[in-house]
Amino acid sequence: MAELSISTAAGVFDATAAGPPGGRPVLLLHGFPQTRLAWERQITALAAQGYRVVAPDQRGYSPGVRPERAEDYRITTLVDDVVAIAQELGWATFDLVGHDWGGAVAWWTADAHPALLRTLTVVSTPHPGALAGALRNDEDQRARSLYMRDWRQAPETENDMLAHDAEKLRGLYGGAVPQAGVDAYVRHMSRPGALTAALNWYRSGRPERAIGTVDVPTLYVWSTEDISFGPVAARETGQWVKGPYRFETVEGISHWIPEEAPETLNRLLLEHLRAHGEGHGTP
C-alpha cells in the first residue's frame, strides 16, 4: 500500500492506494465515524487480483479538505469531490464502492454521473429514495434514524461523544470493529475540528433535488443486525435500480460489514466486478 495526496480545487485528500497503476480502477468511500482504514481488507484483496484501488479520507476527514461551515458538506459537494478525485487520478471510468455515508455518496454519484461508473457497490446504506419511503411509512426505520436528528446538535454531540476517553464514540462500533481500528478512529476524531467536520455531514441540510433511479450495474449488501438501516428500506432498494441488480443479505452481522465480515464482502465484491467489465487488467 502507498500513501497518496490527491490535490483538487477543494483541497488535498489523503488516500491509500494499492495494486498495479494500470489495473482497473476502484474507488472506496468510507462512512462515519471511520476513515479509509475501514477498507484495509478490501484494498488488499482487490489489489491482489490486479485492481488499482484508491481509498481516500473524505471531506472533513482529510485535514486538507475541512471547511468549517456545515453547508459545505452538502451531498452535491460530496459528489463533486468524487468526480474531482477521479479526474485527478486520470480515471475516465471506474468502479465505485461505498459504505455508510460513503454509500449515500455513491448512490448520488451513480445518479448524477452514471457514465463515469462501470459498477456501483453499496454496503449497508439503502438507496436514498428507498430510505425516504421507509422513513415516511415504517415506524421501525423512523426509530432507527432518530440519532440523525440528535447528532445535529453542536457542540453538545461532540462533547458527549468524546467525554470519558470517547466512551460513547467507542460504543458506536458495538464490538464489531477490531480494537486497533477503534483506537485509530478515536485518535483521528479527537483531533481539533475532525469530529465536528464529520458530523457536519449530518448537519448540512436536505439535498437540493430529488434522487432518481440508478442505471449502473449495482450490488447492494445489507446485514441483518444493522441497527441503522432496517429491512423495509433494504428490500425496497431494488425498486430504485434499473440496471443489473444484485441484493445480498449477510446474516448475523452488524452495520460494520467491511471489518466484521471482510471475506464475505470481498467475495461478493470481486464477483460483481468480474461480472461487469472487461477484466481487472483493463483500466
pLDDT of residue 269: 98
Residue length of the chain? 283
More confident residue, 280 or 261: 261
Q: How confident is the model at residue 154 (pLDDT cuts 50, 70, 90)?
A: confident
Angle formed by the axes of helices 194-203 and 156-171, nearest 10°: 100
Average pLDDT, stretch 100-114? Answer: 98
**Widest distance between CA atoms in the chain:** 51
Question: Is-cis flag, bond preceding 155, omega within 30?
Answer: yes
Q: Coil, strand, or helix at residue 16?
A: strand
CA within 13 Å, CB half, 11: 18
Average pLDDT, stretch 273-278? Answer: 87
Q: How confident is the model at residue 278 (pLDDT cuts 50, 70, 90)?
A: low
For the chain, what is the mean pLDDT?
96
Q: Coil, strand, or helix at residue 79?
A: helix
Q: Residue 280 above 60 pLDDT?
A: no
d(CA 114, CA 28): 17
Q: Residue 281 above 50 pLDDT?
A: no
Q: How confident is the model at residue 45 (pLDDT cuts 50, 70, 90)?
A: very high
DSSP per-residue letters across 116-134: GEEEEEEESPPPHHHHHHH
Q: What is the pTM of this model?
A: 0.96
Q: What is the pLDDT of residues 171-218, one digit of tens each?
A: 999 999 999 999 999 999 999 999 999 999 999 998 989 999 999 999
pLDDT of residue 231: 98
- CA 197 distance to own-chain centroid: 16
